[in-house]
Structure 1
Amino acid sequence: MLGILARTMVKAGMVKPSCLVKPVSVTRIAGRYLAHQEGLPKLPVPPLQQTCERYLAALTPIVDPEELNHTRKLLEEFQKPGGVGERLQKGLEQRGKKMENWLSDWWLQTAYLDYRMPVVVHSSPGVVLPRMEFSDRQGQMRYAAKLIAGVLDFKSMIDNETLPVEYLGGKPLCMNQYYQVLSSCRIPGTKRDTVVNYTLDKRPPTHITVVHNFQFFVLDVYNSDGTPLTVDQIYIQLEKIWNSSLQTNKEPIGILTSNHRNSWGKAYDNLIKDKTNQESVRAIQKSIFTVCLDAPMPHASDDMYRTRAGVQMLHGGGSRWNSGNRWFDKTLQFIIGEDGTCGLIYEHAPAEGPPIVSLIDHVVEYMKKSEMVRTPMVPLRMPQKLHFNITPEIKMDIEEAKQNMNIMVHDLDMKVSVFSHFGKDFPKSQKMSPDAFIQMALQLAYYRIHKRCCPTYESASLRMFRLGRTDTIRSMSIDSDKFVKAMDDPAKHNIEKVALLDKAVKAHRAYADMAIRGQAIDRHLLGLKLQAIEDLAALPEIFMDTSYAVALHFNLSTSQVPAKTNCVMCFGPVVSDGYGVRGPVEQRGFFRLSGHSGPGPRRRSSC
C-alpha cells in the first residue's frame, strides 16, 4: 500500500519545540478549576434512531447477512413508538439533565472497577522514555531525583490551579483528569474495586513511595515550610534508601497487586488484618506517586531494546525480574532501571493517556535544565522503611501471584517497531488524516494475516464535555472493508485502490469527528443497557444478540496519543486472540505496534 501511495519517501524534519508547561500565573488562582469546569457543556445523549442506524452500518462488514438481518428486526422492534427503546432513551435523557455527566460514573465502574482481570497487561498502559546511559549508581539516583523534582513542579500547577487549559478546535477541554492522577490509588475489592484520591484530605500527602529490591520506603518530598525538596536533597534521600535496601531476600509483596482482582481483593483483606501491614499499605496508597528503582533486565541488542523496555514498563518481566518491584494499583509509577531503562506505568481508572503524556512532556523538558541550585545541607529525616509481616497464608498468596504473573508474561507477544520511511507529513500532503491513514494500514495488515476483517477499537476523547472520558471510533467500516479487499485483488487498478483508500480515510475521519462530539454509538448503547439494568427491567434482546457480542470483541484495540517527547506507549490486547496497538505519531515517523504469533491463541502487543 505504501509503495502505491508514495514513490518518493521523505523523512520529515526534526522539530523540537519546548515541552515545558508554563503556569498561567505565578500566584495561586483559587476556584479557577471549578469555574472552568462549570463552563463546559454536558455530554449529550445521541438520538436513538441515529445510533441504531449507525450500529447496523458498523455490523455490516463483521457479521454474516443472516445474522445482520436478525439484528435489523430486533432493532426495528426496539425502536417502536412507546416501546422499550424509547423508554430507556427518555431515562437516559433525564439522567443527563440531573447529572454532570450521565456516562462518567457508569464508565468508571463498568470499564475499570467492575473489571476483574488483572490491571497488568489487561488495563494499565506503559510508557518508555528515551534510554539513558548511567555510568554508575549515582547516575541512576541523580536521574531519579531530577524526575521527582520535575513531577513536583508539575504538581505545583495543579495545586495552585495555574495549569493552562487545553483546547481542541478552539474549544476548551475538561481538565478534571489532571486532578485525579496524583495522590490517588485503586483499592481492591472481592467483587468491585474503588479509587481513592487523597488530595482533598485535611492534610494532603507530602510523601512519595520509593521501591527498591522489593522494599518500600516513604520519602517526604516537602520541607517543613511547604517548599519541595531540591534535586540535591532528593538525591541524598534516595542514596539512603538504596543503602537501606541492599538485602534482596525480601518477599516481593508488591506482586500481589498484579493478580486477578477477586484473588487480590481476598488477599488484600487478609493482608491488612495485621496493623503493621495496614499502615504500610495505607502509606503506599496515600503517596503522591511511586518511584521504582529497578534491577537491570537481561541484555538486549539495540534493535530489540525498545521491545524489552516496553515489556519492563508493561509488567516488569515476571517474578524473576522486576514485577515484584511495583504497586500496580498506584495511579502513577515511574520506573528507573539500573541499566538506563526509564519510563512509567499508570493505572488506567482515573485518567486517559493525554494528561499522562502532558505530564511526561513537562518532566522530560524540566530535566533538561542544567542549572543546579545547591542549597545548604539541612538535616533530613531518614526515609521510613515500610514493614510487612508475612504469614504463611500471605506467602501462599504471593506464590500464586508469581505464578499467574509468569503465565501472563509468557502469554504476551510484544514487538516495538519504528517506521522511519516517512512521517505524518506525507499523508497530510495527500490531504489524508495521519491517524486515519494508520488505521487503514492496520486494517489491511490484519486482513492480510487473518483473511477477514475484525471489530476495531480506537479511543476518542470526550473531553469537550464536563467529566468526559472516551468513546469508540470504529475503524472497521463498510468503506475500509472495500479498501482492504481491493488491495490484493489483481483485477483492481492502483488508481481505484487509492480512491478506495481515500474514501475509507474520509469515512474514518467523519466517524472520529462524530465521536468527539458525543455522537458515537458504543457509549450510547452501553448507557441504554445500563439504564435497563438500573430500572430492573428485562434486558432488551439487542444486548443478548450474537451481533452485539461480536461487535464488542475487539481483536484490534488501538490508540494514538501525540507526544512531544520521544516516548513509546504500549498496552496489552483486550481479548485473548487480539492485538493491542498504540503508536504516537511524531513528526519524524510512525511508531507502529505489531505482534508475532505463537502456538495457540496469543495476546499480541506492540508500540
Structure 2
Amino acid sequence: MVKTCALGRPRHLVKPVSATRVAGRYLTHQRGLPGLPVPPLQQTCERYITALEPIVEADELTHTRRVIQEFQKAGGVGEQLQRGLEKRAGETENWLSQWWVQVAYLDYRMPVVVHSSPGLVLPRMDFRDKDGQIRFASKLIAGVLYFKTMIDNETLPVEYLGGKPLCMNQYYEVLSSCRIPGLKRDSVVNHAKSSQPPKHITVVHNFQFFQLDVYNRDGTPLTADQLCVQLEKICRASQETNTEPVGILTTQHRDVWGKSYLNLIKDKTNKESVSAIQRSIFTLCLDGPTPGAAGELYRSCAAVQMLHGGGTQSYSGNRWFDKTLQFIVGEDGTCGANYEHAPAEGPPIVALIDHVVEYTRKPETAKSPAGSLPVPRRLLFNITPEIKQDIEEAKLSMNTLAQDLDMRVKVFGHFGKNVPKAHKMSPDAFIQIALQLAYYRKYRRCCATYESASLRMFRLGRTDTIRSASNASASFVKTFDDPSKQNLEKLDLMEKAVKAHRSYTNMAISGQAIDRHLLGLKLQAAEEKLSVPAIFRDPAYAKALHYHLSTSQVPSKTDCVMCFGPVVPDGYGFCYNPMEDHINFAVSSFNSCKETDAGDLAGAVEEALLDLKRLLEQTPRSKL
C-alpha cells in the first residue's frame, strides 16, 4: 500500500550562513570554482567505442572504429575541432553551458509538457477540503519566500559533493524566471536580476490567473495568515469555471505556441497579463480534487497531475507550463510541482522543495499586522476568435498527449538504500543494474541508457551522461538467468557491473565522460562552418543517442518522487528516489508504442531488485 501522508520526522530547516545580507559572496564562490575541462580527444574516442560495444552489432562496430580512426588521426578534423573547443574553454566561463541550454532545451520544439518538464509528487498532505488547501498553500508560499530571502541575501549555504564545493548558480535561476516561446527558438528571461525584481506570484484557480503581491510596503513578506486571507479572496473571485483556459496554449508544440503567442500579445491587456505571469516569482496552481486517485493508484494519478494536469477535463489548463517553477496543490491533499527544465536540474529544485515542505510543518510564529490588504489583481485576457481557435487546437493536442502517456509510480517497500549499503555497494549503481536486468529480461538485448550526472563541481556546470549499459552490466544480465552458472560467478559479475557504474559516475562528475565532449566537437564544427564530420553521421552515433532508457536519480529528504516522459517514442522514462528502507520510482512510456509498457517494466524492476538482494544474501562474499 502507498503511504498517504507521513513525511517522516521534521528535520531542521536550511540555516542561512548569516542573518544579514552577504553582498558579493555568490560571485566570490563562483570565481573559486574550476572551469569545465575539455577531455583529451583520444580518451573520448576510446571510451566512445567501449560505450558502443554492448549496444551495437559487431559489423557496425567495425565500421565505427574505422570512422573514429579517421576522425582522430594526426592533423585531422578531430584535432582541429579539439583545438577550437580548448580555445573556447579558455575564453568562456563554461564552454558547454550556453550551448547545452540552447541545444537541449531552447531549440527543442516538442511541447515542454511530458517531453521536457519533470513533475514532482510529494506525499499526500493531511487535508481534504478547500480550507485545508488554502492553509497549506499559504504556508508553502511563506516557505518559498523564506528560501528566496537566502538567495537574495546570498546567505544560502554552499553545497558539497565528496568534499568539493558545488556551483550554486541554478538556485539563482529558478525564481522570477520564465521561458518565452519563439518561432524557431525559445529564450529564458530572469526578472530576479532586473532593476525592479518582482514582488508578486501568480495564482491559478479554475483556469483564471491572479497577481498576488506577497510583500508588504515595508518590504517584509506576508505572513501565512495574510496569505490565507488573500488566497480566500482569489478562490471567491474565481468560482466560475466557464473561463477560456488560456494556460493550455503553453502545452503546444513550441513553433505553434510561438505563433499563437505573438497573436495573443498583440492585444495590450493580454500582453500585460502575460508579462505579469512571466515576471512573477513562481506560480501556484490551486486544483480541485483528483477523481479516481485512491490506494495503490494514488501516486500514479498524482504524477499525471504534476506532469501534465490530466488533460482538459482535469487541470492541464490550470497551468502556465513556461513558468520555471509551478507548485500544485489539490483540494484533496495532492501536492507537488512542475518545473520548466531550461534553467535548472532536479536537485536544486528538490532542495528548495525539501526546505518548503519542512517549513509547512513548522508552527506559525509571525503575527499578522493589522490593516486590510489590497485585493489580488485578476489577470484579464481578451479572447478573439483566432485565439479561441488556438485554444481549441491546444486542447485537442494536449488530450492526445495525455491519453498517450502511461505513468506508473511504485513504492518498492521491501528495502531501500540500506541493503546495497550493507553490502558496500552504491545504491545508485545497484538500482541501475537492476534496471538493466529488468530491461534485458523483457527485450533480450541491452540498450543505450542515459543517467544524468551533475557537473556542478565546475562553474555553471549542468549535466553529462552516465552510460549505465556497460560491457560489465551486459555480461552480468546475460549470465544472471543462466541455470548453468554458479551464484559465485553471478555475484562476481554483479560486483564488476556495480564497480563499472561507479567508475563511470566518477568519470562523469569530474568532467571526463564522452557525451558532452562529442556534442561540443559537433557544435564546434558548425561554429567553424565545416560539414558534419562522418563520426556524427555514422548510424552508431544515432543508436548511441536513442535512449530507450532515460533515467535519473533525484534523492530527497522528503518521501517524494520525480517523474518525466520518455525521450524517444519507443522508450521509457525512469526516475527514482532511494530512501533508507524503501525506493520510490516512476516509470513512463507511450501507449502508442506497442513494444513498451510502463506497468510491465515497473514490475520487472521490482522483481530484479528482489533477485539481486537474494543473490547477495544466498552467496558467500567473494574476495573483492
For Structure 1 versus Structure 2, the TM-score category normalised by the shorter chain is over 0.9
Deviation at 1:367, TM superposition (A): 1.0
Aligned residue for 1:460, secondary structure, equals: strand
1:401-440 to structure 2, matched below 5 A, reads 401-440=394-433
Give the 5 Å matches for 1:307-326. 307-326=300-319
Structure 1 position 295, deviation (Å): 1.7
Q: Within 2, Cα distance between the matches of 1:500 and 1:337?
A: 47
**d(CA) in 1 for partners of 2:295, 2:474:** 37
2:57 is matched by which residue type in structure 1? Answer: D
Q: Secondary structure at the match of 1:371?
A: coil
Per-residue deviation, 1:16: 4.3
Find the counterpart in structure 2 of residue 83 from structure 1: 76
Distance in 2 (alpha carbons) for counterparts of 1:33 and 1:83: 42
AA aligned to 2:21 is R
Instruction: Give deviations 1:85-124, integer Å, cap 9, x for gaps.
Output: 0000000000000000000000000000000000000011
Matches of 1:45 and 1:600, distance apart in 2: 38
Q: TM-score by structure 1 length?
A: 0.96
Whether 1:47 aligns to 2:40 is: yes
Q: Mind listing any 5+ residue stretches in structure 1 that lack a counterpart?
A: 1-13
Aligned with 1:446 (options 439, 442, 445):
439
- Residue matched to 1:564: 557
In 1, the alpha carbon distance for the partners of 2:36 and 2:498 equals 26
- Give the secondary-structure state (helix, strand or coil) at the position aligned to 1:476: coil
What does the per-residue CA deviation read over 1:381-404, in whole Å, with 9 as the maximum and x for residues that have no partner?
A: 110000001111111111111111
Given residue 540 of structure 1, which amino acid in structure 2 is its aligned partner?
P
Give me the whole-angstrom Cα distance separating, in 2, the residues matched to 1:375 and 1:484. Answer: 61
The answer to whether the Cα contact below 8 Å between 1:188 and 1:264 also exists between their aligned partners in 2 is: yes
- Partner SS state of residue 54, structure 1: helix
Q: Which residue of 2 aligns with 1:114?
A: 107
The reply on whether 1:554 has 2:554 as its aligned counterpart is no
Identity over aligned pairs, percent = 68
d(CA) in 1 for partners of 2:496 and 2:217?
Answer: 62
Q: Distance in 1 between matches of 2:189 and 2:598?
A: 30
Aligned with residue 370 of structure 2, among 354, 372, 377: 377
1:240 — aligned with what?
233
- CA distance in 1: counterparts of 2:463 and 2:399, whole angstroms: 31
Spell out the pairing of 1:496-535 with structure 2 (5 A cutoff). 496-535=489-528
2:324 aligned partner, one-letter code = T
The AA in structure 2 aligned to 1:309 is A
| Amino acid across the alignment from 1:39 | G
2:579 corresponds to: 586
Contact 1:575 1:603 in 2 (8 A): no
Cα contact 1:576–1:603 (8 A) shared by 2: no
> For 1:135 and 1:323, how far apart are their aligned partners in 2?
21
CA distance in 2 between counterparts of 1:425 and 1:600 reads 36
- Residue type of the alignment partner of 1:527: G
> Counterpart of 1:345 in 2: which secondary structure?
strand
Give the alignment of 1:167-566 within 5 angstroms: 167-566=160-559
Deviation, structure 1 residue 135: 4.2
Gaps of 5+ in 2: 1-6, 603-624
- Describe the superposition over 1:343-396 as per-residue Cα deviations: whole angstroms up to 9, x where unpaired: 100000000011101101111111111134332331211100000011111111
Matched AA of 2:375 = M
Distance 1:595 1:187 in 2: 27
Aligned to 1:4: none
Residue 501 of structure 1 aligns to which amino acid in structure 2? M
2:31 aligned residue (24, 35, 38): 38
TM-fit CA distance, 1:600: 3.5
Partners of 1:181 and 1:170 lie apart in 2 by 25
Aligned length, in residue pairs: 594
CA–CA distance in 1 between the matches of 2:592 and 2:330?
32
Which is worse superposed, 126-135 or 52-61? Answer: 126-135
Q: Distance in 1 between matches of 2:141 and 2:595?
A: 37
Partner Cα separation in structure 1 for residue 591 and residue 344 of structure 2: 33
| CA displacement 1:474-520 (0-9 Å, x = unmatched) | 00011111111101112111111111111000000000000000000
Q: Structure 2: how far apart are the matches of 1:109 and 1:19? A: 38
Q: Distance in 2 between matches of 1:367 and 1:133?
A: 12
SS of the residue aligned with 1:199?
helix
Q: Is the 8 A contact 1:572 1:605 kept in 2?
A: no
Cα distance in structure 2, aligned partners of 1:100 and 1:121: 31
Distance in structure 2 (CA, Å) of the matches to 1:71 and 1:179: 42
CA distance in 2, matches of 1:597, 1:109: 26
Q: What's the secondary structure of 1:228's corresponding residue?
A: coil
CA 1:388–1:598: 2 relative to 1, 3 Å: closer
Deviations 1:247-292 (A, max 9, x none): 1100000000001000000000110001110000000000000000
**In structure 2, distance between residues paired with 1:417 and 1:587:** 16
RMSD, aligned α-carbons: 1.4
2:157 counterpart of 1:164? yes
Query: How far is 1:605 from its partner?
Result: 5.9
